[in-house]
């Protein structure tokens, strides 16, 4: 086959950010994806665009459990989401939100590798991020589709019913009077992923063709976005900010970079080609 050579490269970067001060001293709200207010809050001591959410504690299983818990709404019923009373005042209101999760990863990394063996060549690029959170706003609509007549994720089949209580998906509702869809940790997901960006395999067939004046004829096949490993339940963990997050309020979508409105997933693309050198 001929001489063998290889190459390996890697990069790693830790990511840290913290707001030290804000002009005017007022927190900046962002991610207006829902009617109950923003999803992110930027203020000193927290990362930019930090998620500011109610905390889901479970699912109410009985009226007795509702009666013995902090007051949520007069409409709360078994099967609704149970939210945590963070300030201990025995009621669930806007004071029970807290900073939880950051859209920025703890670190990013990349690995490239390849080899040449005679007429054969191979290359691969792998890239990933670790430790970031994504607010699965698309899932908010997908799990609660009965409110707007959309199709639902199949997980909705596992919703709470009196005969199916071992679930974290609340009871079906056409009006959501308990606020199950409110901006909470129910929709906060781990956005870490590892993706094989590119794999390419080539072979030099010049000796088979012997074209006059041609020094190299290489045929190759390449696949982009060959494989993605992630626990994220949405279409693609590598999301982009969406103009919907601003709700026309003139607020930068940079403050809501970790909110997923249903990003179109990166396609897996197969490419075959011929490279001719003279």
140: enclosing H helix or E strand: helix 137-143
Report pLDDT for 56. Answer: 97
Report pLDDT for 272. Answer: 96
Report pLDDT for 154. Answer: 82
Question: Domains in the chain: how many in total?
Answer: 1
| Residue 86 in domain | no
| Residue 167 in domain | no
Residue 92 to residues 95, 115, 144, 221: CA-CA distances in angstroms? 8, 60, 21, 57
| Residue 168 in domain | no
Burial of 186 (0-12, 13-18, 19+ CB in 10 A): buried
| Residue 249 in domain | yes
| Residue 110 in domain | yes
Beta partners for residue 196, in sequence order: 126, 227
Please state, in angstroms and rounded to a whole number, the distance separating the CA atoms of residues 196 and 16.
Answer: 25
Here the tokens at position 163 are 């005969």
| Residue 222 in domain | yes
Pair 188, 237: CB distance under 8 Å: no
Pair 272, 213: CB distance under 8 Å: no
- The structure tokens 């299983």 sit at 61
Containing structural domain, residue 27:
4-54+97-144+181-277
Here the tokens at position 33 are 């994806």
| Residue 176 in domain | no
Report pLDDT for 129. Answer: 96
| Residue 150 in domain | no
Please state, in angstroms and rounded to a whole number, the distance separating the CA atoms of residues 177 and 76.
Answer: 7
Q: Where are the beta strands (DSSP E) in the chain?
A: 4-14, 28-30, 40-42, 52-53, 56-59, 81-83, 98-99, 107-117, 120-130, 133-135, 188-190, 193-204, 216-230, 269-277
**Could you list the pLDDT tens digit for every one of the 278 residues in the chain?**
568 999 999 999 998 999 999 988 789 888 876 656 789 999 999 999 999 999 999 999 999 999 999 999 999 999 999 999 999 999 999 999 999 999 999 999 999 999 999 889 999 999 999 999 999 988 777 666 566 666 777 888 899 999 999 999 999 888 889 999 899 999 999 999 999 999 999 998 877 666 666 778 889 999 999 999 999 998 899 987 666 655 555 555 678 888 998 878 889 999 999 988 78
Report pLDDT for 173. Answer: 85
65: enclosing H helix or E strand: helix 63-67
First to last CA, the chain: 23
């Amino acid at each position: 086959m001929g001489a063998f050579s290889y190459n390996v490269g890697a990069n790693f970067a830790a990511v840290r950010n913290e707001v030290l001060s804000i002009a005017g001293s007022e927190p900046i709200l962002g991610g207006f994806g829902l009617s109950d207010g923003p999803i992110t809050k930027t203020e000193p001591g927290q990362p930019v665009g930090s998620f500011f959410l109610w905390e889901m504690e479970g699912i109410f299983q009985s009226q007795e459990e509702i009666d013995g818990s902090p007051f949520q709404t007069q409409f709360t019923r078994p099967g609704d989401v149970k939210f945590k009373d963070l300030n201990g005042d025995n009621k669930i209101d806007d004071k029970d939100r807290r900073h939880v999760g950051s859209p920025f990863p703890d670190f990013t990394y990349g690995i490239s590798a390849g080899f040449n063996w005679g007429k054969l060549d191979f290359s691969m690029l792998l890239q990933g991020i670790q430790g970031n959170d994504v607010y699965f706003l698309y899932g908010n609509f997908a799990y609660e589709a009965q409110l707007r007549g959309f199709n639902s994720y199949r997980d909705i089949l596992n919703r709470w019913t009196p005969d199916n209580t071992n679930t974290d998906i609340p009871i079906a509702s056409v009006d959501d009077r308990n606020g199950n869809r409110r901006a909470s940790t129910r929709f906060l997901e781990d956005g870490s992923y590892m993706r094989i960006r590119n794999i390419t395999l080539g072979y030099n067939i010049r000796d088979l063709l012997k074209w006059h004046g041609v020094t190299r004829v290489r045929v190759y096949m390449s696949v982009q976005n060959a494989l993605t490993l992630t626990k994220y339940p949405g279409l693609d963990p590598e999301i982009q900010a969406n103009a919907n997050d601003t709700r026309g309020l003139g607020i930068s979508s940079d403050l809501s970079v970790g909110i997923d409105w249903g990003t179109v997933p990166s396609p897996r693309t197969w490419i075959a080609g011929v490279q001719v050198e003279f």
